[in-house]
């Protein structure tokens, strides 16, 4: 009997609802495959501020550090918009977690489901056959640089070390070797010094991977090519802010943000797994939020943190079937509630 011990952070808004559906599915997986499920649940973000006065309580961080596997719902909302800087749910919880746990590689897939292609605003021929992954550096760059204000304005420092660029580049090339053997590195080297170092370092690392093709694109050109030539990409490698922008743009190709999981990983099996959507406070508590991205994030956790590929694949197959048979929430045209979708997928996995 294998043990699945992880930290569950429901978070804010619809986080507890989609998280509950994912936990239901994980219970079915543990029952089906004979595993011991050990869940450590803690507060984070706005919910933690309301109860404990801080967005990342010590007990929450210690649990994350101990288990090394984190399933996160969502963080933030307008209720806490009046707070400043690290007092805010997102800045005070997600960024410290990424930094302290060294979660430097964010992975987001873009492989549209056939059933959802018609929901994209792009033409069918622009989307069909798309299958790429964005590898985003997550603990450096402008989000973590020195920032502040003076009498004349404000500033945000963007800084990267060669070591930071090298380690994320190695992960991207290793991943490409398992896929279509192509890496597209995205920067702004015609303007930014950090991007010039980025391109130089990627080029150096690429020399160790003679079997992997590498190309370099500027970020402004990439925003166009992603929508007009999406089938041409395999692994897209980029820095923190550019990756933040590109991954949201990529969601347009899938037809729905509600089906895209993400993984933020370090070395070894340490990782945090979450849907790319936000806390959606406007529909919170209504049991109609789409839980598929959260359920798929749980599958990624099984695969990457627990080496359970068969179990993860069983969840992904169930999600695919739910889309085919229209067993989804209303945003995807289905008749089910959040928890009903979770129960349907859990039942399919169990049986």
Return the active site residues: 143, 188, 220, 244, 248
Rounded Cα distance, 258 and 136, in Å: 20
**CB distance 135 to 106 below 8 Å:** yes
Q: What tokens appear for 216 in the block? A: 């370099």
Single out the residue of 289, 315, 281 nearest to residue 301, CA to CA. 315
**CB distance 110 to 53 below 8 Å:** no
**CB distance 338 to 17 below 8 Å:** yes
Sequence-separated (6 or more) residues with CB below 8 Å from residue 155? 146, 147, 148, 149
CB atoms within 10 A of CB 297: 25
The residues with which 69 forms a beta bridge, in sequence order, are 271
Rounded Cα distance, 42 and 24, in Å: 17
Give backbone dihedrals phi and psi of 302, rounded to 5 degrees, phi first: -60, -40
Q: What tokens appear for 323 in the block? A: 């889309």
Q: What tokens appear for 261 in the block? A: 């999981």
Rounded Cα distance, 118 and 255, in Å: 7
Residue 99: enclosing H or E segment and its boundaries?
A: helix 95-100
**CB distance 215 to 73 below 8 Å:** no
Rounded Cα distance, 332 and 115, in Å: 10
**CB distance 179 to 150 below 8 Å:** no
Rounded Cα distance, 317 and 28, in Å: 14
């Amino acid at each position: 009997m294998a043990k699945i011990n992880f930290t569950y952070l429901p978070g804010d808004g619809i986080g507890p609802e989609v998280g509950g559906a994912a936990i239901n599915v994980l219970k079915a997986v543990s029952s089906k495959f004979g595993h011991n499920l050990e869940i450590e649940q803690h507060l984070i973000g706005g919910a933690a501020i309301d109860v404990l006065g801080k967005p990342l309580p010590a007990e929450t961080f210690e649990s994350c550090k101990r288990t090394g596997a984190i399933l996160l719902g969502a963080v933030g909302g307008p209720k806490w918009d009046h707070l400043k800087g690290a007092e805010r749910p997102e800045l005070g919880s997600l960024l410290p977690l990424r930094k302290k746990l060294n979660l430097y590689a964010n992975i987001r897939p873009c492989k549209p489901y056939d059933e959802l292609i018609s929901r994209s605003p792009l033409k069918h021929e622009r989307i069909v056959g798309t299958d790429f992954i964005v590898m985003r550096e997550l603990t450096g760059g402008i989000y973590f640089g020195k920032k502040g204000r003076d009498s004349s304005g404000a500033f945000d420092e963007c800084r990267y070390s060669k070591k930071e660029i090298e380690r994320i580049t190695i992960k991207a090339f290793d991943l490409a070797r398992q896929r279509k053997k192509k890496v597209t590195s995205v920067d702004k080297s015609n303007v930014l010094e950090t991007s010039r170092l980025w391109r130089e370092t990627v080029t150096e690392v690429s020399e160790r991977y003679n079997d992997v093709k590498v190309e370099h694109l500027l970020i402004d050109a990439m925003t166009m090519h992603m929508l007009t030539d999406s089938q041409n990409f395999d692994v897209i490698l980029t820095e923190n802010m550019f990756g933040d922008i590109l991954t949201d743009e990529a969601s347009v190709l899938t037809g729905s943000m509600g089906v895209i999981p993400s993984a933020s990983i370090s070395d070894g099996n340490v990782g945090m797994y979450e849907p790319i959507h936000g806390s959606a406070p406007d529909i919170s508590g209504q049991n109609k939020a789409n839980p598929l991205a959260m359920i798929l994030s749980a599958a990624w956790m099984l695969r990457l943190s627990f080496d359970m590929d068969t179990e993860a694949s069983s969840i992904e197959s169930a999600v695919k079937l739910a889309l085919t048979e229209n067993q989804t929430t209303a945003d995807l045209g289905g008749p089910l509630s959040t928890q009903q979708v979770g129960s349907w997928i859990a039942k399919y996995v169990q049986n």
